[in-house]
Amino acid sequence: MLFNSYIFIFLFLPITLVGFFSLTRFRFIQASVIWLTIASFVFYSYWNFFPPEGQTPTPHYFILIVLSVVMNHQIGQWITECKLKSKKAKTLLLIGTSLNLLLIGYYKYANFFLSSLQGLTGITLSLGQIVLPLGISFYTFTQIAYLVDAYRGETKNKSYDLLTYSLFVTFFPQLIAGPILRHDELIPQFYNLRNFIFNHKNFALGLATFIIGLSKKVLIADTISPWVALAFNNAESLNFTEAWVGALSYTLQLYFDFSGYSDMAIGLGLMFNIKLPINFDSPYKATSISDFWRRWHITLSNFLRDYLYIPLGGSRQGEFRRYLNLLITMLLGGLWHGAGWTYVIWGGLHGLFLSIHHAWRKLKMPLPKFLAWLITFLAVLLSWVLFRASRFSEAFDIIKTMLGMEGIILPVGNPNGKLSVLTALGINLKTWTEFPYLPTLFNQKSIAIFGLMLLTLCTLTLPNSQQIVTKLKPTWWWAIGIGLMASFSLLSLNKVSEFLYFQF
């Protein structure tokens, strides 16, 4: 079930909210937790039983997530009952982690590794088509983190019953695409009796945050989506301007799509008095690649740091090991995003960027703020091309065109006799009609490019969603503004539009 769908907004969400707070009103706390847990499983299962047109129903994936939840809860209980970091606890952790990795390895990576092996050996190996279970990367890694925390003793003296643990894993606002939560960020909120009392302020803030996220998704990201496809589907034919516009379009689409989902998740959580962690903090304002990863997909960055980079040794074993650990962490982070070598190399590229940044910091030669931002933004933008491309040749074609290796061609209204200085420098000028792969807005290519520049400026200068919501006041101006955003968004829900991170 999609957040940006009529069935979710007008049926599932109202029924779930009314049922939950009706039960809590009569102090049926346990029943309300059961209700919310069942609702979360229904939310997850809807896609499996009623997939979009053209996709195969996968009802058995409901059993898969149930088995995953029961298995990890039991192993976590066994680890908690063991002596802290004992051999038995370590063995149970290895078993639990291995089972989780086998699960995600089969569904997400099996055919990828077999096809890679086929490329090396020429032997044809395949398991047939494997449909990726929805949200498997998120709920699997959430539970691996839980097992590690249990091994570290962080769940000692805490009795997490199966019901509460199930709600922790499957709580529908964060189930499909995060944020990735730790047990101590969410489960204690389920034990706080205040959270079972309807809170008008939380509901208003949650609704506003949800609408802002919905607007990002359907009004901005979905509008840009065809522009991205236009460029990447014609990678070998693009010119300089078209390649840059295509790359910038994806840079903005991904941001507004995923940050929109995260805003909607936070908003939905607030409606139930649950505070989910912020996942985005104006990442394109970052002035270093480290700063970028502290702002982009924050919960994933924290997971990679706490459960991979630090256990590998972090920066405690010398500079060489620090750079190696960064590279390994980001390579695996890239692989987490998708079963493809483009994702792996994208992760490795960010590992290289991080290593260069840390090496530069040791020189104690800080760059001017604008230059630091520009280098960071361009590095991120170029790497997104690799992230989006379906194959290396596609990414290579776009990047080499962006670098001017295929010549520099710029659009003008009338190129004859204009800007002779530019033509003397080898920059070709052509009319707008000679740019077939530029997007149009209101039937004008120049307006589309202006729109992209304006959106970029907004991400760099305006407050983010969380900062906007903190200024929310019960005034007519706020009501009109949020109401207009909601109206335009609801009128745009005329087709199935999945979130980009659903595929991860």
Q: Which residues are catalytic?
A: 337
350-354 long-range CB contacts below 8 Å, 24 or more apart? 350/289, 350/293, 350/383, 351/326, 351/327, 352/327, 353/289, 353/379, 353/383, 354/289, 354/290, 354/293, 354/326, 354/330
Q: Which of 300, 30, 280 has the alpha carbon at shortest distance from 167?
A: 30
Q: Which of 499, 490, 466, 500 has the alpha carbon at shortest distance from 219?
A: 490
Residue 40 half-sphere exposure toward CB, CA atoms < 13 A: 29
Residue 420 near residue 380, CB atoms below 8 Å: no
- Report the DSSP pairing between strands 408-411 and 427-430: parallel
Q: Is 369 exposed, middle or buried (0-12, 13-18, 19+ CB in 10 A)?
A: exposed
* Structure-token pair, residue 198: 């309807």
Count Cβ atoms below 10 Å from residue 256 Cβ, excluding itself: 26
Residue 336 Cα distances to 65, 101, 141, 217, 301, angstroms: 19, 11, 10, 23, 12
Q: Which of 139, 133, 150, 132 has the alpha carbon at shortest distance from 179?
A: 139
Q: Which of 372, 327, 371, 319 has the alpha carbon at shortest distance from 349?
A: 327
DSSP 362-397: HTT-PPPHHHHHHHHHHHHHHHHHHHH-SSHHHHHH
